[in-house]
Structure 1
Amino acid sequence: MRPNKLRQMWQANQAVVNGWLAIPSGFSAEVMAHQGWDSLTIDLQHGVVDYQAMVGMLQAISTTPTVPVVRVPWLEPGIIMKTLDAGAYGVICPMVNTREDAQRLVAYSHYAPRGTRSFGPVRALLYGGADYPETANDTIVTFAMIETAQALDNLDAILSVEGLDAIYVGPSDLSLALGCKPSFDDVEPPVAQAIEHILERATAHGLVAGIHNGTPQVARGRVEKGYRFVTVSSDARLMAAGSQQVLAQMRAS
């Protein structure tokens, strides 16, 4: 089976630089993938991407060594299994709040005897290789998003679930949950403390910690602290920022 670069980088204690895809376009996904991101995450939760668009985007990413990851809309077995069958090598699941939620995520992402994933890797065989059925359980990466007060209360119970590979912090939702203004980077003190606490506990449990960021400067700072999967901006935000920069220079003259 095609190796999962995420696992290889983590074994070498390297940080994965992840891009974010909210635009439902195979071409824009292909352009992003050819820029050298370690991984790209297709956002089915808050992006404007449906399942069919996601498949085309996964195919576009496959033209490069970039690892395809998908954030599913919710903890629901059908979409998680279809996402993996389409060839995603990682799944980020939002709003994992309890140990039972994490157990269900692991079950939906793994074939028996480790889980309850139904067999039918229609495109995953093409992307992963003929031995996909035998090795998928050890190759796919599962991320549980930690972004609520309930998840913080149940953090150690969530992190202790066997088969969970990583957690992913959503700073904006975490900020709202703690009574603060939503932000990726300029978070208020209670959120900053929670972000450090999540990293500390994930490391203690031997799990990889990931987090969403708005700027490279903040992402690098979080890598220095120990985060090993950092998202920086998104295709839509990068397009808007690039356009603003060009227009500002033109109108200034």
Structure 2
Amino acid sequence: MRPNKLKQLFAAKQTAIGGWCAIPDSYAAEVMGHCGYDTVVVDLQHGPIYLDAALPMLQALSSTDATPMARCSANNFFEINKLLDAGAYGIVCPMIDSADDARALVSACRYPPAGTRSFGPTRGFLYGGADYFAHANDTILAWAMIETPRGLENLDAICAVEGLDGVFVGPSDLSLALGVSPAPEWRKPPLSDALARILAAAHGAGKLAGIFCVSVEFAVEMKAAGFDFVVHANDASILREAAQRGVKAIRG
């Protein structure tokens, strides 16, 4: 089976740098895949990407060196199965509130006896290889998003779930859970304290820690803090910011 580049990086104690797709377009995904990211995540939770758009985006990413992953819209067994069958090599699942939620995610990502994933890896065979079934459980990454009050309350129990690869921070929703603005102020309490706690809990349980960042500066600081996986914004915000800078420079 084709190896998971992220797993190789993590085994070598190197930080994985991720791109993020919010624009429902295969060409946009292909461009992101050629930008040097270690992985690109197709986001079905926020924005206008649905399963019919996700498939060609995952196909486009397959032509690049970036490992294809997806954020599901919810902890839904059938959607997670479809995304994995479409060739995603990892699932980022939002709103994980408890150990039971995390176990359900892991179960959807693993074939029996480790889980309950149904067999039918249509594009899995094409992207992963003929021996996909034999190695999928050890190759696919399962990420639980910590971004709610209950998720924080149950953090240690979530991190202890067998088969879960890591926890992933959604800083805007986490900020809301902490009673502050969704614009992440990562250097200030209470968000800074929560980030440190999540990172420590993940590593203490032998799990990976990932985070979505809204700027390069944020991502650089989270990499330095010890996060294993940092995402540098999404394609829509990168496009917007680059266009705004260009217009401002031209106007003088």
TM-score (normalizing by structure 2) = 0.98
- CA drift of 1:184 comes to 3.5
1:19 to 1:192, Cα distance in 2 relative to 1, 3 A: same
Equivalent position of 1:234 in the other structure: 234
Unaligned runs of 5+ residues in structure 1 are none
Equivalent position of 2:245 in the other structure: 245
- CA drift of 1:187 comes to 5.9
In the TM superposition, what are the counterparts of 1:122-137 in structure 2 within 5 Å?
122-137=122-137
In the TM superposition, what are the counterparts of 1:153-172 in structure 2 within 5 Å?
153-172=153-172
* Distance in structure 1 (CA, Å) of the matches to 2:75 and 2:153: 19
Q: Deviations over 1:153-175 (max 9, x none)?
A: 11111111100001100111011
Equivalent position of 1:206 in the other structure: 206
The answer to whether the 8 A contact 1:21-1:47 is kept is no
* Distance in structure 2 (CA, Å) of the matches to 1:32 and 1:70: 14
Aligned length: 252
Equivalent position of 2:106 in the other structure: 106
Equivalent position of 1:146 in the other structure: 146
SS in 1 for 2:190: helix
The answer to whether the 8 A contact 1:185-1:213 is kept is no
Query: Does structure 1 residue 49 correspond to structure 2 residue 11?
Result: no
- CA drift of 1:47 comes to 2.3
SS in 1 for 2:19: strand
The answer to whether the 8 A contact 2:58-2:88 is kept is yes
The answer to whether the 8 A contact 1:184-1:212 is kept is no
The answer to whether the 8 A contact 1:185-1:214 is kept is no
* Distance in structure 2 (CA, Å) of the matches to 1:133 and 1:186: 41
Equivalent position of 1:194 in the other structure: 194
* Distance in structure 2 (CA, Å) of the matches to 1:155 and 1:90: 21
Equivalent position of 1:5 in the other structure: 5
In the TM superposition, what are the counterparts of 1:2-81 in structure 2 within 5 Å?
2-81=2-81
Equivalent position of 2:177 in the other structure: 177
The answer to whether the 8 A contact 1:143-1:164 is kept is yes
1:92 alignment partner AA: V
- CA drift of 1:188 comes to 4.2
* Distance in structure 2 (CA, Å) of the matches to 1:184 and 1:111: 37
1:134 alignment partner AA: A
Unaligned runs of 5+ residues in structure 2 are none
SS in 1 for 2:145: strand
Q: Deviations over 1:12-40 (max 9, x none)?
A: 11111101100010111111111111100
SS in 1 for 2:91: strand
- CA drift of 1:183 comes to 2.0
* Distance in structure 2 (CA, Å) of the matches to 1:54 and 1:200: 33
* Distance in structure 2 (CA, Å) of the matches to 1:222 and 1:243: 26
Q: Deviations over 1:48-69 (max 9, x none)?
A: 1111111000111111110001
Q: Percent identity?
A: 47
1:229 alignment partner AA: F
* Distance in structure 2 (CA, Å) of the matches to 1:31 and 1:59: 13
* Distance in structure 1 (CA, Å) of the matches to 2:242 and 2:223: 25
* Distance in structure 1 (CA, Å) of the matches to 2:225 and 2:132: 35
